[in-house]
Structure 1
Amino acid sequence: MTDTIFDLERGDGPLVVSMPHCGTELSPGLAERLTEEALTLRDTDWHIPRLYGFAKDMGATLLSARYSRYVVDLNRASTGESLYPGQATTGLCPDVMFDGTPLYRDGQAPDEAEVAQRVQGYWHPYHEALAAELERVKARHGFALLYDAHSIRSHVPRLFDGRLPDLNLGTARGASIDPQLAAEVVAAMESAAAAEGLTCVTNGRFVGGHITRAYGQPANGVHAIQMELAQDRYMDEEAPPFAYRPDRAASLQRVLTALLNAFAGWRPAQG
């Protein structure tokens, strides 16, 4: 199934994979307003649908954005409050890139009316689709498992010190997922990452954005986690065309497969 805002592939299992930052399309007229550097779309979660393509064989539902996070950030609240108060971040309709350089040419940033228009036209359709898929899955299985898939350059000094771990799992500090399920997922990640020589952390710099926090409601049968990957583990992250690297991705995919098998294979206790 396709839509002008997102791509949706329905599966029959309890797992829903959300990919809100993989889009590269720009809204009409936006390209002419962006700087040359912004037009590289450097902050995209590049190749995430390809990296997680194996999840289709697990019966997962895959929801992926078509439009760039420079149009509107689908992992921010529609009201625009900061995910990480007191820390550097980017906003609902960002005006700077991750490294702090301007997105827009002088005087071209969106005003409040345009931000509201983007929220209505792009943010709401994606979230309506995500909510509907979670409800569909929950109606079928009695619960739903939401995996919010992200990636970022391994070094962004404005956002974090040093090199980011290869895998950064977020559970909203435990609030978005059943604790036993969280323990099983973390154990699977840590074991597989160690076997592949990769690094990982849980609830480090990235604890989960709006999607994880808003939809992860264990008491209501929806369990959510976010994964932020260091991009140099599966692609060329430094310069366009930001090529996918199958030789690097294979090792990372083995870890992600182990993690998702633990996540998607879980069932709530009966009784």
Structure 2
Amino acid sequence: MHRQKKTCIAMMLCAAMLSQSFVFDAYGTSAADSSVSKSASGASMFTLDKLGSVTLKQSVSVKLTDMNISVHPDGNILTYTLRYSNNSGSRVDLIDYFSKLSTPSGTIIKGKVVTSDAGKRTLPANSSQSVTYYVNIGRSAQVNGMKVSMFGWDFSSATYEKKLGGFTIPAQYSSVVPVGKSKKMKMNNISVTAKADTVQRYTINGKVYIKLGMKLSNGGTKVLSDPGYKAYLKSAGGSIFELLPESSSTGYKLQPQESRTIYYWTEFLPR
């Protein structure tokens, strides 16, 4: 009789230095049975929105809206997204502000803008804009305890910088998204909502296979073409497995407001 076994799965879509991750908990038992982890549902109650905002100057503020970690052999990559809001009547130069990430061990690393956001250098009057940054955090694998601090240039100080505030990720925060819940991300600079629709486990000739169905919804105004991202599965033990898309799930094009489920397969060897 097949014994139910808990499998923690992390699905990562990777392109260059930016890795968008879609992480969820699931119980894999058979092709017809998958259920949501109660612990994941509870952990996801805390959202980054509850951290509030940091004032950069009068009528200009910033919020932390997203944070994820993807595993790489030469060091794990943490990405975080800051949303700047300019409620003033004049333009704001983003070069006047910068952020640093502090790890729980005390390491401080200045965030670098991902290539796709490199052109976002100004913030027009009465507008908002999101910018994603990345840092190499070595062996660290948890976002809990990470802190993003905001700075502005201050040439009257010894360090030429002034700390304006920050965001600390609390222990109760989790980037795990339960099956059936959705996560917003950017693909080819288009806003996309991703949701783990199905997680199915098959045993064939003594080998275990996982089939993942990820529903993508194009929330932008342009056609989303298959970006050719590589996808990976991360087990609870930290092992990484490359996911291969079904032939029908490659080369797709999603019209604005259109949705489609993309299917991936991998042989799963938990350890």
Give TM-score scaled by structure 1 length: 0.29
Larger Rg computed on CA atoms: 2
* Larger strand share, 1 or 2: 2
* Larger helix share, 1 or 2: 1
Give TM-score scaled by structure 2 length: 0.29
